[in-house]
Amino acid sequence: MGAGLSSLCRDCFWRGQDARGRCTSCGSPRLIRHPELWTLTIAHLDCDAFYASVEKRDRPELRDKPVIVGGGKRGVVTTACYIARLSGARSAMPMFKALKLCPDAVVIKPDFAKYRVESRRVLDHVRALTPLVQPLSLDEAWLDLTGTERLHGAPPAVTLARLQSDIEGDVGITVSVGLAPNKFLAKIASELDKPRGFGVIGAAEAEAFLAPRPVSILPGVGPVMAETLRKRGLTTIGDLARADPKELARSHGGAGLRLAQLARGRDERAVDPSQARKSISAETTFEDDLKDLEPLETRLLPLCERVARQARREGISGRTVTLKLRTADFRIITRRRAAQAPTQTARTLFAIGRDLLQREIHGSAYRLIGIGLADLTSETAASELFEADETRALAEETAVDHLRDRFGTGAVVRARSLKT
């Protein structure tokens, strides 16, 4: 970081060559300084503690208080604000543990309908800058600003800084940005300076930057893969970068080759707006552990309805049904089965989910159940393969959707067609 680095002020948007710690125009310390700042075009945008930030925006009295969005005492943390995180609370943590760490936290039940509205507002700002936007979830997306400099009259870094300011002013929440030469590095960069951050990782520094970090930050490396790599002496990304790619390919197939590339900071994936989401799911945590089939089925049924209705609304179907259970000791069990044809009905979800569930009833107590639909495809392609019973169920459930949209969710009792 020597003299004459490309620099950008995130407050007044001054840009130039600067080696000092403050903006030469307005004096702000919020400078971005990097030798590749004007040439990088791939970005990752991540809303800061999204659900909690939306709740704090709507309830200003909570601004300086720790806020946790999540279920009841036996639920899990959906989002913890940054104040709550100082006490150790974090997403996916059991609620009782989070409240033990942060007893003064204000707990708010999630309102996903509201969060979806705010997500669309954020993405509207992003899509106004480039058509190459690939959402990952409600609160994050990749974007490619290649070739937009003439359109916006500024390099992508300046456009992104203005985007942050516009979202904060219009939506009332903050976002962090990562700028890099590819998607993998951009996502890592967005985590470097949260909240309200702007991280930059250039191509020249990528391999050295990644080398000391654990292999677990690489996409596709879960606990099992990380342990497998550890047994081979590969605990850091630098270890992977020094490993023989051919040996990684022999032991891990195509995934090994991909890890070898990522370890060197290389990622050829394009930002793809058409890339379909991978799955739809819903889950619920019980107030008391359940171990008998009937009460578990009772909790499973509305989850199947929720997932199926979302699939119909988005015009997609799925081939694979996934049942998720969490035991009393927090061990997660997942079971999957392919449907005979792509489905978007609660009838089929429940039939497969119930069968998978029956196989797990052997005296164990469960604190959570969930159902998911994966291997998604378009509704038109799937409908050609529907059997008569599935077609009938789809018609009935679609009719129920219309009634509930018009008169409310409590207007129609669950369809009898779910019985098998």
Residues classed as catalytic: 140
Query: Which candidate, 363, 306, 362, 370, places its Cα nearest to that of 335?
Result: 370
23: tokens are 């903006």
Cβ contacts of 343 within 8 Å, gap of 6 or more = 308, 317, 318, 319, 321, 349, 373, 382, 386, 390
Q: How crowded is residue 5: how many other Cβ atoms within 10 Å of its Cβ? A: 18
109-132 as b/e: b if 16+ CB within 10 A? ebeeeebeebbeebbebbbebbeb
Cβ contacts of 60 within 8 Å, gap of 6 or more = none
- Supply φ then ψ for residue 117, to 5 degrees: -60, -45
Task: Tell me the three state secondary structure of residue 410.
Answer: helix
CA distance 351 to 266: 44
CA distance 164 to 181: 20
CA distance 322 to 336: 4
405: tokens are 């949209």
